[in-house]
């Protein structure tokens, strides 16, 4: 009878145990409060792969441009005045406004003429003006730093006639990040500068590589209609009522007194180039 009792005890031990996942778990093992708490939740994962950008995403197809003086965008009254860059790339000069100096008559002295401001409709649809602009952006992955440069690549020319020695001066410059762009902006290297034929490209804005400056989209504005108090992250000092007093054409006396009639056109090339190593 003692043999039978021992056999029954072994059988009972086998019946109250089971194998889970290769481990033996006894029915007598208690479930801890920690386990019960963990049973109430399960974590899922979200994954995404970041690839090199093929384009900055601008300019907008509706023709609107970021407002350098207030949050939001403005709509140029004459879309042809703002020239978009249709080429694609992750670092790009996206749009520039054309400089309009109007009509000039010959004179026996040096001639100076300011460029007209940019006529726009603000976010509320009201017509107003802004200074002339250059819009650029950098969305490259893991690459930082650049210089924004300007150069007069062609003097004012009409057929065979040239306004020799003429220059274009820029001042009252601010740089405003597009609304929502909270990246660290670059710096304005030259708050005033002159462009003439035959001179080297000049660096106007520099985004530092080491501090990862200049990511996102920015608007460079020459002269302001307002004090830009509503804009965030503005680099430079806004000066109200200078939107029509900040881009100046100068024609020297020798040329001004001997100009042939015609429609003249100069070319200013804006370029984003690698900054200092």
pLDDT per residue of the chain (277 residues) written in tens, 0 to 9: 444 554 444 444 444 444 544 555 555 689 999 999 999 999 999 999 999 999 999 988 889 999 999 999 999 999 989 999 999 999 999 999 999 999 999 999 999 999 999 999 998 899 999 999 999 999 999 999 999 999 999 999 999 999 999 999 999 999 999 999 999 999 999 999 999 999 999 999 999 999 999 999 999 999 999 999 999 999 999 999 999 999 999 999 999 999 999 999 999 999 999 988 7
Total of domains in the chain: 1
Q: Are 200 and 194 in contact (CB under 8 A)?
A: no
Helix, strand or coil for residue 21?
A: coil
Residue-wise burial string across 20-53, b where 16 or more C-beta atoms lie within 10 A, e elsewhere = eeeeeeeeeeeeeeeeeeeeeeeeeeeeeeeeeb
21 located within any domain: no
19 located within any domain: no
For residues 139 and 151, what is the distance between their CA atoms, to the nearest angstrom? 24
170 located within any domain: yes
Helix, strand or coil for residue 231?
A: coil
Residue 22's pLDDT is 52
For residues 199 and 135, what is the distance between their CA atoms, to the nearest angstrom? 23
Give the tokens for residue 165. 């020695």
Name the residue with tokens 């029915």: 27
Give this prediction's pTM: 0.86
For residues 63 and 84, what is the distance between their CA atoms, to the nearest angstrom? 9
17 located within any domain: no
Q: Are 90 and 55 in contact (CB under 8 A)?
A: yes
Helix, strand or coil for residue 103?
A: coil
89 located within any domain: yes
Helix, strand or coil for residue 3?
A: helix
Element spanning 153, H or E: strand 146-158
Residue 24's pLDDT is 54
Residue 267's pLDDT is 98
177 located within any domain: yes
Residue 11's pLDDT is 45
Task: For CA atoms 33, 37, 42, 45, give the dihedral sign.
Answer: negative
Residue 8's pLDDT is 47
For residues 16 and 26, what is the distance between their CA atoms, to the nearest angstrom? 7
Residue 123's pLDDT is 85
41 located within any domain: no
Name the residue with tokens 């150069």: 151
Domain that holds residue 91: 70-274
In the DSSP assignment, the letter for residue 36 is H
């Amino acid at each position: 009878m003692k043999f039978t009792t021992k056999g029954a005890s072994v059988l009972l031990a086998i019946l109250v145990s089971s194998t889970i996942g290769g481990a033996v778990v006894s029915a007598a093992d208690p479930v801890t409060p920690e386990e019960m708490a963990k049973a109430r939740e399960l974590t899922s994962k979200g994954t995404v792969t970041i690839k090199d950008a093929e384009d900055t995403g601008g300019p907008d197809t509706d023709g609107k441009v970021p407002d350098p003086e207030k949050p939001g965008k403005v709509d140029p009254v004459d879309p042809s005045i703002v020239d978009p860059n249709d080429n694609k790339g992750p670092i790009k000069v996206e749009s520039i406004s054309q400089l309009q100096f109007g009509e000039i008559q010959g004179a026996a002295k040096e001639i100076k003429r300011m460029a007209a401001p940019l006529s726009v409709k603000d976010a509320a649809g009201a017509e107003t003006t802004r200074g002339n602009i250059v819009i650029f952006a950098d969305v490259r992955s893991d690459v930082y730093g650049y210089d924004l440069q300007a150069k007069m690549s062609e003097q004012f020319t009409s057929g065979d006639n040239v306004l020799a020695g003429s220059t274009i001066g820029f001042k009252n410059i601010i740089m405003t990040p597009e609304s929502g762009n909270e990246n660290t902006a670059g710096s304005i290297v030259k708050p005033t500068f002159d462009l003439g034929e035959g001179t080297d490209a000049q660096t106007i804005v520099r985004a530092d590589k080491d501090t990862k400056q200049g990511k996102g989209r920015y608007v460079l504005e020459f002269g302001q209609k307002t004090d830009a108090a509503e804009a965030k992250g503005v680099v430079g000092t806004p000066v109200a009522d200078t939107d029509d007093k900040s881009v100046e054409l100068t024609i020297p006396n020798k040329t001004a007194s001997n100009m042939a009639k015609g429609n003249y056109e100069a070319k200013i090339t804006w370029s984003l180039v690698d900054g200092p190593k």
